[in-house]
Structure 1
Amino acid sequence: MKILVVGRGGREHSIIKKLKENPQLDKIYVAPGNAGMEEEAECVPIDEMNIEELAAFAKEAAIDLTVVGPENPLNAGITNRFQQENLAVFAPTQEAAWLEGSKSFAKDFMKKYDIPTASYGVFQDAEEAKKRIAETGAPIVIKADGLAAGKGVIVAMTEEEAVQAIDDMLVDKAFDQAGSTVVIEEYLEGAEFSLMAFVHEDKVYPMMAARDHKRAFDHDEGPNTGGMGAFAPIPDLRAEDYQFAVEQILEKTAAGMLEEGRPFTGILYAGLMMTEKGPKVIEFNTRFGDPETQVVLPLLKNDLLQVLQDVLAKKNPHLEWHKEACVGVVLASEGYPGAYNKGNELPQFEDTEDTYIIHAGTKKADGKLVNDGGRVLLIGGRADTLSQAAEKVYQQLDKAELNGNFFYRSDIAK
């Protein structure tokens, strides 16, 4: 059997590592991949947004199943194109991916289907948006409506910050068309967690919950990023709250999308806030979360390829989980999520019995591994407890020579 994974980041590297456990697998291709994936998959130099070339390659190479990692090709309709060519793909259609592609669509959808989320308003006019801020006060959340690589959300603690966010998005077009509409939301308080599920139409198979750390620096300070680390399981998540999230959020969403004529197949990700009134949705993603995937998949006992095949066949994959904990810490380029230099040689890390290395923004230059993105590597560890897993990861990181080119948070899962 031949598999194609589309993407180039840490999420895709994790998917490849997990798929490799299947003995029936003849070949894994990844397009375009990164330097760290070369030992586990054949990298195909096709950009993830070049949908026509990807479909042509999948036909020519007789790919049996394609797994799509990132959000941009999903929202550009990669699944629809593959389906037109009768190519098997595990990913949502463009219509279903709109749940992530438009925050205003997602909010209106949740309101219609009574899925718990923060109160909100949708604005395209800067002055109207600023009026809402003046009426509501701070703290308040400002979101670019479209895809902004995880950076289009501003949690404004003051009205001045909120007004600045409106100017950045609606006036200065900081996120281009993605920010031409903004969603202004009530600020929710509580602990965040992420819950992903394998979904095929009305069938929902939830995974273990995880928690990621979005702020750049220790103690949850600094700007929002795509995620600086993650851990699973979550000790403070009660079984009844997990079950509520599955039934009242994931299952309701899958049923609602079916009713909307946008049947969902793929990974449904709910970013949730554990409020005093129970879990509420902060956002939906329509693919594996990054970096949550890097700590959830290593705890999955099942063979991932078999799970995907079962889900597509509407069979219950009967997910089973290791009774262990997993912690992943991101090594990022100095300056991320702002400007940073590329081409710096990476510190040396090695997989051990209890730790693993996931590549994200890396490439080879003159035979050396160098950084090619903001989030560069994730060092993951598995152990009986979260504290033991974190200790194993930080033992690796603390030995690394960063030379002022890289940084990481020292408090993930602590």
Structure 2
Amino acid sequence: MKVLLIGSGGREHALAWKLASSPVLTALYAAPGNPGMQADAECVALDITDHAAIVDFCLGKAIDLVVVGPEAPLVAGLADALADAEIRVFGPSAAAAQLEGSKSFTKEVCDRFGIPTAAYGRFDNALAAREYVRKHGAPIVIKADGLAAGKGVTVAATVDEALAAVDDCFDGSFGAAGASVVVEECLVGEEASFFCLCDGTTALPFGTAQDHKRVGEGDTGPNTGGMGAYSPAPVLSEALIARTMKEIIEPTMRGMAEMGMPFTGVLYAGLMLTEDGPKLIEYNVRFGDPECQVLMLRLKEDLLLLLNAAVDGQLAHMSARWRDEAALTVVLAAKGYPENPQKGSVIGGVAQAAEGDDTAIFHAGTALRDGALVANGGRVLNVTALGKTVTEAQKRAYTAVDRIDWPEGFCRRDIGWRAVQREE
């Protein structure tokens, strides 16, 4: 099979690495890809916002399947453009991608189909949102309604912080994403990520993880796209997974089909495990980043066969088996991230750090300049390792981190701390 993978981040590098191991793969292209992906795929300089160019490339290369990594092309309708050209694509339609593209849409789905989530209000102007905040007090959560690259959420500890977050949204800090705002109650509990592969009818459970969104150790500081993750999530027991499927995933799948927008692709549920059971924080319509990296290290199945089954509506006949080991990934970011990451610094020692069967390094924001690997983004490398326990995986990951020569980079040194505490 000839496959085109859309995207250029650590998530896409992990997907390319896993897809490349499939015996049914004959050619893998990545658009636009990154330097790390060149070992597994041919990188092609396509503008992923130019749907016509992607369609033309697929027709010219006789691509059998397109795998869309990031959320923005899905929300913009890339899957629809490919489907209209009769090109097989793994990823939801623009209508179904509203589950991530519009937080208020997801809240309305939850209301309509009885899916447990936080109480909320949706607002198109700052005055009404500010009144809601004052009425309900803090802690409270402020969310830009649209896509904001993982940075449009503020968990406000005080009313003043919440009011400032509302103003940030309506003042344009998140562009069009903040034109409307969702204000919701602050759920109490532990967060976990739950993934399913979906074919419009069937949702196949596809792993669990926990990530660290805050930039600082001890989960402090501003939110980021993610500073690290580990899998499986110890807090998600089999009983909680079964309850999540019954109360959250299955009603969503039925509801989306009933509304005429059946969901195909990855459904990623961000959960809060409260005293009352799991509640939906938000949906994403693609693999998490960096959660994908730890899932790919643990997956025993042929990923390409699973994605094909999803596209063909055959997931009811498939299963997903996982390695018993835990996986953990540490994000190496450029100094200044997330506000103002410094680009252009040279990175050394990556090949040496990746030595060993239990370690993989996935590129995120890298580029090649005069033959040297340089930082070209905020989150730059994902150092990922396996271990019999999260503690062992953490030790291996940080051993690899310390082999990388990049003074202009930084990472958190406590990824997986909750799981490590449970294992002590």
**CA displacement 1:26-80 (0-9 Å, x = unmatched):** 1100000111111110001012212111111011111000000011110111011
Q: Is the 8 A contact 1:311 1:317 kept in 2?
A: no
Structure 1 stretches of 5 or more lacking a match?
Answer: none
Deviation at 1:86?
A: 0.5
SS in 2 for 1:309: helix
Q: Is the 8 A contact 2:2 2:26 kept in 1?
A: yes
Q: What residue is the counterpart of 2:29 in the other structure?
A: 29
Q: Is the 8 A contact 2:214 2:222 kept in 1?
A: yes
Q: Is the 8 A contact 2:192 2:235 kept in 1?
A: no
Q: Does 1:309 align with 2:308?
A: yes
Match of 2:401 among 390, 397, 404: 397
The count of residues paired between Structure 1 and Structure 2 equals 412
Partner Cα separation in structure 2 for residue 176 and residue 314 of structure 1: 37
Partner Cα separation in structure 1 for residue 158 and residue 48 of structure 2: 38
**CA displacement 1:236-292 (0-9 Å, x = unmatched):** 322211111122111111111000111111111101111111111111001111111
Query: Letter of the aligned partner of 2:325 in structure 1?
Result: E
Structure 2 stretches of 5 or more lacking a match?
Answer: 418-424
Query: Letter of the aligned partner of 1:411 in structure 2?
Result: D
Q: Is the 8 A contact 1:328 1:393 kept in 2?
A: yes
Q: How does 1:195-344 map to 2 (within 5 A)?
A: 195-315=194-314, 316-344=317-345
| C-alpha RMSD of matched pairs (Å) | 1.0
Deviation at 1:357?
A: 0.4
Q: What residue is the counterpart of 2:63 in the other structure?
A: 63
Match of 2:361 among 357, 370, 373: 357
Q: What residue is the counterpart of 1:408 in the other structure?
A: 411
TM-score by length of 1: 0.98
Q: Is the 8 A contact 2:350 2:403 kept in 1?
A: no
Q: Is the 8 A contact 1:219 1:411 kept in 2?
A: yes
Partner Cα separation in structure 1 for residue 410 and residue 141 of structure 2: 27
Q: How does 1:167-178 map to 2 (within 5 A)?
A: 167-170=167-170, 172-178=171-177
Q: Is the 8 A contact 2:2 2:25 kept in 1?
A: yes
Query: Letter of the aligned partner of 2:79 in structure 1?
Result: T
Query: Letter of the aligned partner of 1:296 in structure 2?
Result: L
Deviation at 1:363?
A: 0.6
Deviation at 1:84?
A: 0.9
Partner Cα separation in structure 1 for residue 145 and residue 24 of structure 2: 42
Identity %: 47
Q: Is the 8 A contact 1:134 1:159 kept in 2?
A: yes
Between 73-82 and 394-403, the greater mean CA deviation after superposition: 394-403
Query: Letter of the aligned partner of 1:380 in structure 2?
Result: T
SS in 1 for 2:208: coil
Q: Is the 8 A contact 2:143 2:181 kept in 1?
A: yes
Between 68-77 and 393-402, the greater mean CA deviation after superposition: 393-402
Q: Is the 8 A contact 2:6 2:30 kept in 1?
A: yes
Q: Does 1:377 align with 2:378?
A: no
Deviation at 1:192?
A: 0.6
SS in 1 for 2:97: helix
Q: Is the 8 A contact 1:199 1:267 kept in 2?
A: yes
SS in 1 for 2:14: helix
Partner Cα separation in structure 1 for residue 154 and residue 274 of structure 2: 19
